[in-house]
């Protein structure tokens, strides 16, 4: 029985600058039910407050504390371990890390830095990792969809540094099991009682199921024909978040 419902955001609730048809009403149905609802995102181009503002402007009804972002989880890890990170992150989220000590860095934080992925910046990160600095990756997504086009995400750049420096990144965000389990812990439920709804078969579906959650793939956002066949796992694949909510609310 599904008792908790986790939504990916971009590509599931909205695409570009518009809510996906029926998504606002579908989320409202979930919120009005007995389900524990959370919103999990790897986005590293927006602060948590910006994510909240964007969703509310589109008509979604939610609270700020229902949103769990990979950048906020990464910051918590860095603070806990006392690291001084070199931050290769998007300029829009740099403020999230502005209060961290960053002089004489002894760690590398890498997210979707967009134009910040210069050779000079990546080479500095490479040298730090080569000297033993831990590499923290915000998500491992390969690509994302923005304004109707696919864009490289942080994953390929994380893999490049891993390969060059002979290291392995600590992934904070999807598909890392700890990210999903962080959300589960907030609900007080068991992983098998929570269903993740996403448009990314690797990051959302396989990541969630690897952490013991249920998962549902939607055919919106970055979904491409045949994505469900690219996994060895068995899970429902539905046209949109509307159908996913219907599935979650279906009596056992």
Side-chain-side CA neighbours of 104 within 13 Å: the count stands at: 1
Q: Is 158 helix (H, G, I), strand (E, B) or coil?
A: helix
Summarize the confidence of residues 159-166 as an average pLDDT.
97
Q: Is 190 helix (H, G, I), strand (E, B) or coil?
A: coil
Q: Which two tokens stand for residue 208?
A: 């969630």
Domains of the chain: 4-42+174-249 (3.40.50.1000), 71-172 (3.40.50.1000)
- Tokens 């609802």, residue located: 37
- E strand or H helix that includes residue 151: strand 149-152
Q: What is the pLDDT of residue 26?
A: 98
Q: What is the pLDDT of residue 94?
A: 87
- How far apart, in whole angstroms, are the C-alpha atoms of residue 118 and residue 121? 5
Diameter of the chain measured on Cα atoms:
56
- How far apart, in whole angstroms, are the C-alpha atoms of residue 89 and residue 13? 24
Q: What is the pLDDT of residue 211?
A: 97
Whether residue 48 contacts residue 67, with contact meaning beta carbons closer than 8 Å, is answered with yes
- How far apart, in whole angstroms, are the C-alpha atoms of residue 36 and residue 66? 9
51 secondary structure, DSSP code? H
pLDDT in tens, 10-61: 999 999 889 999 999 999 999 999 999 999 998 877 888 999 999 999 999 9
Whether residue 125 contacts residue 202, with contact meaning beta carbons closer than 8 Å, is answered with no
- Comparing CA positions, the residue from 214, 248, 174, 238 lying closest to residue 8 is 174
User: Which segment of 35-49, 190-204, 218-232, 233-247 scores lowest on mean pLDDT?
Assistant: 35-49
Q: What is the pLDDT of residue 149?
A: 87
- How far apart, in whole angstroms, are the C-alpha atoms of residue 173 and residue 170? 10
- How far apart, in whole angstroms, are the C-alpha atoms of residue 202 and residue 72? 22
- Mean of pLDDT over the chain: 93
């Amino acid at each position: 029985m599904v008792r908790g419902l986790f939504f990916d955001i971009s590509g599931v609730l909205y695409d570009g600058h518009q809510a996906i048809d029926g998504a606002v009403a579908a989320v409202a149905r979930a919120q009005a039910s007995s389900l524990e609802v959370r919103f999990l995102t790897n986005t590293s181009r927006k602060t948590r407050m910006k994510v909240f503002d964007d969703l509310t402007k589109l008509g979604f009804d939610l609270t700020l504390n229902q949103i769990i972002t990979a950048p906020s989880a990464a910051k918590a890890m860095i603070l806990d371990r006392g690291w001084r990170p070199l931050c290769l992150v998007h300029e829009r989220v740099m403020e999230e890390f502005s209060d961290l000590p960053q002089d004489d860095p002894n760690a590398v934080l890498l997210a979707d830095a967009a134009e910040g992925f210069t050779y000079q910046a990546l080479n500095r990160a490479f040298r730090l990792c080569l000297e033993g600095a831990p590499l923290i990756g915000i998500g491992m997504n390969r690509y994302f969809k923005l304004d109707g086009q696919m864009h490289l995400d942080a994953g390929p750049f994380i893999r490049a540094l891993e390969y060059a420096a002979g290291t392995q990144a600590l992934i904070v965000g999807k598909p890392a099991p700890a990210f999903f389990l962080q959300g589960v812990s907030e609900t007080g439920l068991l992983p098998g009682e929570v269903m993740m709804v996403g448009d990314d078969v690797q990051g959302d579906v396989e990541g969630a199921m690897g952490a013991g959650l249920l998962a549902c793939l939607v055919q919106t956002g970055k979904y491409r024909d045949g994505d469900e066949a690219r996994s060895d796992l068995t899970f429902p694949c539905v046209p949109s978040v509307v159908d996913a909510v219907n599935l979650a609310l279906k009596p056992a």
